[in-house]
Structure formats: C-alpha cells, structure tokens
Amino acid sequence: MRVVLTRREPLDSPDGVSIFIVSLAQALCDLGHGIEIVVGSCQEAQFRRLLAPRVDLPILALSRTPPTGLASVAVWLQAKWAIDRFDPDLVIHSEAVPVPLHGTIVHVVHDLQPRSGRLAPVWRAIRRFSARHSDRVVATTTELRNELVRDLGMPRDQIALIPKCLDRQAYHGASLDGRERAILHAGTLPYKAPEITIQAFGALDDPSVSLFVTGDVTGSVRAAVDALADRLRRRVTLLGPADGWVVRNLHGRVRVAAFPTRYAIPVGSATVMEAVASDTPIVGSPHLSHDLLVDGLNGLVVPADPHAMATALGAILNDDPLWSRLSAGARRMSEHFDAHRVAKAFLDLVPDHARHGSRLRHTVEQPP
C-alpha cells in the first residue's frame, strides 16, 4: 500500500510525535509499503542529528521554517496537492489537518493540549472537525481514549487504541553487570519536572551514583544542581540537547530512569518508551500512563516528591533481584510498542475493499 504520514509541526524536534512518525515510517518501509512524510518544515541536519533515523525516508517539508497564520493555510493546500499526487491508500495524520484527501484517513490523537487559554475553543473545534471527517480516530493511550469519549462525544468503540511506537532495533539494553550505577532524567520541559529528579538525587546522597540529564539546561535546572553538595554535584552531567544515538545509548547504560512527570491527561511519552525499549526500570509519578508504567512490573510508581523518589531510586539501584525482575517486565512490555507491530495495526484500519482496489490500481499503473 501507499501510506502518507503528516505533521503540521517540524519533524526535526526529537519529541514523541516525531519519534513515532520516523519509527512507523521505517517499519512500513521494512514491510514493503510505499511511504511519504509530509510535514510543515524540517531542517535535515538537525533531523539526522536528533532523530538518528535508520532508514533514508522520503520527506516533503512544505516550508523552510514552521508556517504560521495564513501561510499555514497555503502550505496545507500545497500538501493536499502533493498527497493527492502520491495517491495514498492510507493517510495518518498526527496533527489536525482538516482537508479532504484520498484514501483511508486516520486521525491520531497524541494529546489534548492546548485545552486552556484564548485559542482553546479554536483547537477543540478543529479537533472535532478533523475527527468527524476522518475514517478512523486513534488514541495512543487508554487515558486519552477515555478523555476523547468525553471531549469529542464519540462512542468508545469508534476510537481505536494503538500505542506510539519505537524502532526497537535501535535500542540495546545492557545486562545488569554492564550497567552503570546511574540515573537518567530525559527532558527538561517544565512538565517533566527535572528539578524533582535532581533533588531526589540529592536526597539519595550516594556519591557512587551518577545522574545524567538531557535537554536544554534551563535556569531552574542549573539552580537545582548548584544546590547539591559538592561531592554530589560532581556526579551530575548536563548533556543539553543530545544526539539521538547518545540518548539511546544512555537509556541502555543506566540502571534506572526517573520520570516525576506531570500530565493532565497521560500521553504516550516517547522518553518513557525509550527506557522500556532499553529494558531499563523506571521510577515514575502516578501521572504516567498505565500503558507505559505498571507498578511492580517494569518500575515503581511513587509521588513526584524528592524523598519518595529517592527511596524508590535507591531500591532499584541497590536490589539486584528487584532490578532483574523489573528489567524483564520492561522487555515484555516493549513488545507492545514495536514499530512493526504498530504498523500492522494501522494497516488493518484500511477496509478490505480498499486494499483490493489499491492492489489493482497500483498494478495497472506499473510500466510494462
């Protein structure tokens, strides 16, 4: 089949949606399908550094910089023309793009933000319009699907549940003997609460343990590190916006990953999934999706409090049987996020009659 994946935002940011699109596109290529990625913008050098794709993907960037205002309308009319020329059988939208297109249209809901502020009613209207003009709506976590039932007023059985995915070939978790006595906190946006992890590291007060933090080094992150005792401050590495392969390597090297995350509605966090795919146990807040973190299965669920997190981090760092059990649980859980498995779930959304028409149409188009 021919599949188009779209995103209104740039593809060169290593966030969950970009990782999902790249992983899904690679899997579809592996499975022998034709794909095209259509995005608002993409800086190739940054894309390759931060996303580190395994496959050379066909990407159509509609603008050199992220389009805004009326310009965004113009570029998405251009997108419609380009997508129609590709003649897709399946279009997977990762942002609301309410334009009529050929093929089976799938609207993937990754989160429900923004749902407050001056433009919230506009975004809600666009989301509802796009959902009602799509053949299928997909939620990426159970919690999102439950909220969509209320937000869109749609019956639960009309909203498919398909998780985000990862290219599991890119993640390699070391055995216990090959792990560092280290904690990883990935991401420094406010909702990721990096200061809590840094404070928990201070409360743990173990100079044999290291802490790695990826993401922009903000003033609050720097202040939290400066507040640590000297013997602990030397054990903290602030990596900044690290290359994709560096982040993947870290997930497989550390003994535990910390996620004191604050979500209004739990989403399919790519950084959590990266830890899961690396067989790395997690210490996370109750605001993480239960699809990604199950207490006692692949990690420990504790309040986003420095002392509670310090206790849980210490348990995983110092209890080898506990670490092994949680690591094995992560390995089992990661199968649900395998990109090839998720790709097949999306392909199954295309009706049988559309599949047969696709094969006939594309066979006729082949040159003799």
User: Residue 233: which CATH number?
Assistant: 3.40.50.2000
The count of residues in the chain is: 368
Q: Are residues 109 and 225 in the same domain?
A: no
Residues 115 and 181 in one domain: no
Residues 129 and 199 in one domain: no
Residue 106 domain flag: yes
Beta strands in 11-95 (DSSP E): 34-41, 59-63, 90-93
Cβ-based neighbour number of residue 331 at 10 Å: 16
User: How confident is the chain (368 residues) per 10-residue block, as mean pLDDT?
Assistant: 90 89 96 93 89 91 68 71 90 77 89 66 74 87 91 86 93 94 95 96 97 96 96 96 91 97 88 96 96 96 97 98 98 95 96 64 45
The pLDDT score that the predictor gives to residue 223 is 97
> Looking at the structure, do residues 208 and 281 belong to the same domain, yes or no?
yes
What predicted TM-score, i.e. pTM, was given to this entire model? 0.88
The answer to the question of residue 362 being in a domain is no
Whether 367 is covered by a domain: the verdict is: no
Query: Does residue 366 fall inside a structural domain?
Result: no
Rounded Cα gap, residues 78 and 98, in angstroms:
13
- 77 with 56, same domain: the answer is yes
Q: Are residues 251 and 160 located together in one domain of the fold?
A: no
Are residues 349 and 245 both part of a single domain?
Answer: no
Q: Are 208 and 307 part of one and the same domain?
A: yes
Q: What is the pLDDT of residue 50?
A: 87
Nearest Cα neighbor of 153 from 129, 128, 134 is 128
Q: Is 30 exposed, middle or buried (0-12, 13-18, 19+ CB in 10 A)?
A: middle
On whether both 303 and 350 belong to a single domain, the answer is no
CA angle at residue 265 from 129 to 250, to 5 degrees? 115
- Whether residue 150 is found in the same domain as residue 189: no
Residue 360 within a domain = no
In a domain, residue 275? The reply is: yes
Same domain, 88 and 113: yes
What is the domain extent for residue 325?
171-336
Distance, in Å, from the CA atom of 6 to the CA atom of 232, rounded to the nearest integer, reads: 44
Q: How far apart are CA 154 and CA 156, in angstroms?
A: 6
Could you tell me which residues come within 8 angstroms of residue 310 by beta carbon, excluding any fewer than 6 positions away? 200, 201, 203, 204
Residue 194 lies in a domain: yes
Count of structural domains within the chain: 2
Residue 287 sits in the same domain as residue 343? no
Residue 363 included in any domain:
no
